[in-house]
Amino acid sequence: MFADLGLENADELFTRAQMGFHVYTLLKDKQFKQREISALLGIAQPEVSHLMNGHFSRFTTDKLLDFLKRLDRKVTIRVSPHKPGEPYQEVGFTP
């Protein structure tokens, strides 16, 4: 989607969107109130609103990784050779 728009950092934006959506899903499943999310993630309530409304580009990759840590998720980074036609960054999630 970001590549279709011709954005030069499309892979990074897509990765952040995937990570943000995963954070959002974890929080939605726990049915936390915004006040609880604010305390858990260590961010102000207006930022919680941005997160829960899908504005994931407002958060850096590092911040999203911190959110996943605070949600008790292990993050593994794997580096491998790039093959033509595949994205440079991929995000996968396990239940």
Distance (Å, whole) CA 74 – CA 72: 7
Report the pLDDT value the prediction gives residue 6, as an integer from 0 to 100.
Answer: 53
Let me know how long the chain is: 95
- Residues lower than pLDDT 50 in the chain: 2
53-69 pLDDT per residue, tens: 999 989 999 999 999 99
Closest-CA residue to 30 (of 15, 41, 17) = 41
Closest-CA residue to 92 (of 70, 68, 66) = 68
Enter the pTM of the model: 0.80
1-95 belongs to which CATH class? mainly alpha
